[in-house]
Amino acid sequence: MDDMPAPPALIDRSVPSKSLPVPTTVSPQLQRSISQLAGAQGLTAGQTPTTAEAWREFVQAADAQGLAMVPLLESLFPHTVRKHVIAGVTVREITPGTLDPKKAGRLLLNFHGGGYLMNGGEASTAEAVLGAHYSGMKVISVDYRMPPDHPFPAPLDDAVAVWSAIAADRSPASVGVFGTSAGGGLTLALVLRLKALGAPLPGALATGTPWADLTGASDSYAVNADVDGVFSRFDGVAQGMASLYAGSTALTDPLISPVHGDFAGFPPTILTTGTRDILLSDTVRVYRALRAAGVTARLEVHEAMSHAEFIYAFDSPESAVVFGDMAAFFEAHLADA
């Protein structure tokens, strides 16, 4: 064995800079979104805050974008919102104008995205509104606690508390859970925690471009850096978010980075990403892990989409397809209460 040649050195590939055209292979609405993103800094660009107060200011500025979507969503996707509390956690119950009486026995639970820092409060419901509209079901949007005041495990504790209260009141198999980005990661972490507790699991999951590896190791963190118009880079702001969320817990802990978890016994899961998504690889790695564990899993990859762009470009046919696929998946896999 001592005579074995040393493995060759690994060589990083250098890629020349280039301009990315707005593709003609997507709808005019998505082309407009891509073009607008090209002229703006992504949410993870700029200087990384270094104090709790600076993080709060950063979050306030970012949440303004989410709040700006609320009137448009109300006009395009009529719904009502009822704010209340479940198990000590603030939630918003979304009832869509498209509510289907035949699905009255089913319910969806949503965890918003935003790097575990952003999109709290009134800015937390955009994805929930879209999910409710296309599914014809009520959605409980969880306004979980977040850093800098409430790092891990507070968000996961809130998720478990709300789920446990809902599961005690109805058949768990009739409830679907969905979330995008950090919300997708929290969805996966919730099920990992429920498995460890021996608690009942949801009937099905939908994870949009889940933030599943907070170490930044996945290939597309490098490949799609500055290609993604929303989640522009991992190093800097996003890396700071990951550290702030994890606190004293290792970033490789499966409840922080669910890609490292055991997916055996998971509910059927649909995953969504795009070719410009910086979390394309996180999504693919989770999908492969689910398949390796024998879980029913479906992966949807959309042309030219940046991270979670199906939420921001909500007037595009591509967004309708994403949420329509999610609704059909829940229709196929959720039981009646």
Of 69-78, 160-169, 190-199, 215-224, the one with minimum mean pLDDT is 69-78
Residue 108 lies in a domain: yes
For the chain, the 3-state helix, strand and coil shares in percent, each to the nearest 5, are 40, 15, 45
Which amino acid belongs to residue 66? G
Q: How far apart are CA 3 and CA 178, in angstroms?
A: 53
Joined tokens for residue 97 = 């104008």
Residue 187: band (very low, low, confident or very high) from pLDDT cuts 50, 70, 90: very high
Of 223, 210, 221, nearest to 297 (Cα)? 210
Q: Which residues contact 257 (CB under 8 A, 6 or more apart)?
A: 185, 212, 213, 214, 215, 251
Joined tokens for residue 72 = 């448009």
Residue with tokens 């899961």: 269
Stated as kind and residue range, the H or E segment containing 52 is helix 52-76
Residue 30 has pLDDT above 80, yes or no: yes
Joined tokens for residue 274 = 């795009």
Residue 41 lies in a domain: no
Residue 243: give its domain's CATH number. 3.40.50.1820
Residue 307 lies in a domain: yes
27 dihedral zone (left: phi>0; alpha: psi -120 to 50; beta):
beta
Residue 41 has pLDDT above 90, yes or no: no
Bridge partners of 208, per DSSP, are 180, 272
Q: What is the mean pLDDT of residues 185-200?
A: 98
Residue 28 lies in a domain: no
Which domain range does residue 70 map to?
50-333
Joined tokens for residue 328 = 């059909």
Joined tokens for residue 196 = 């460890």
Q: What is the pLDDT of residues 257-287, one digit of tens each?
A: 999 999 999 999 999 999 999 999 999 999 9
Bridge partners of 82, per DSSP, are 93
Q: What is the pLDDT of residues 58-70, one digit of tens each?
A: 999 989 888 988 8
Q: What is the pLDDT of residues 213-261, one digit of tens each?
A: 999 999 999 999 999 999 999 999 999 999 999 999 999 999 999 999 9
Q: What is the mean pLDDT of residues 3-18?
A: 87
State the chain's maximal CA–CA distance in angstroms: 72
Beta strands in the chain (DSSP E): 79-86, 89-96, 107-111, 139-142, 175-180, 204-208, 269-274, 297-302
Averaged confidence pLDDT in the chain: 96
Q: How far apart are CA 15 and CA 226, in angstroms?
A: 13
Residue 216 lies in a domain: yes
Residue 1 has pLDDT above 60, yes or no: no
DSSP 144: -
pLDDT over 70, % of the chain: 99
Tell me if 195 sits within 8 A of 201, measured CB to CB: yes
Q: How far apart are CA 284 and CA 33, in angstroms?
A: 24
Of 44, 327, 297, nearest to 188 (Cα)? 297
**What's the whole-model pTM score?**
0.96
Q: What is the dihedral of CA 184, 138, 299, 27, to 10 degrees?
A: -100
Q: What is the pLDDT of residues 116-152, one digit of tens each?
A: 999 999 999 999 999 999 999 999 999 999 999 999 9
Bridge partners of 10, per DSSP, are none
Residue with tokens 């921001």: 312
Domain count within the chain: 1
Residue with tokens 């939420």: 311
Joined tokens for residue 164 = 């446990």
Residue 317 lies in a domain: yes
> Coil, strand or helix: which one is 229?
coil
Label residue 31 exposed, middle or buried (CB < 10 Å: 0-12, 13-18, 19+).
middle
Residue 142 lies in a domain: yes
Of 334, 304, 270, nearest to 139 (Cα)? 334
Joined tokens for residue 37 = 């993103």
| CA 206 remoteness from chain centre | 9
Residue 208 lies in a domain: yes
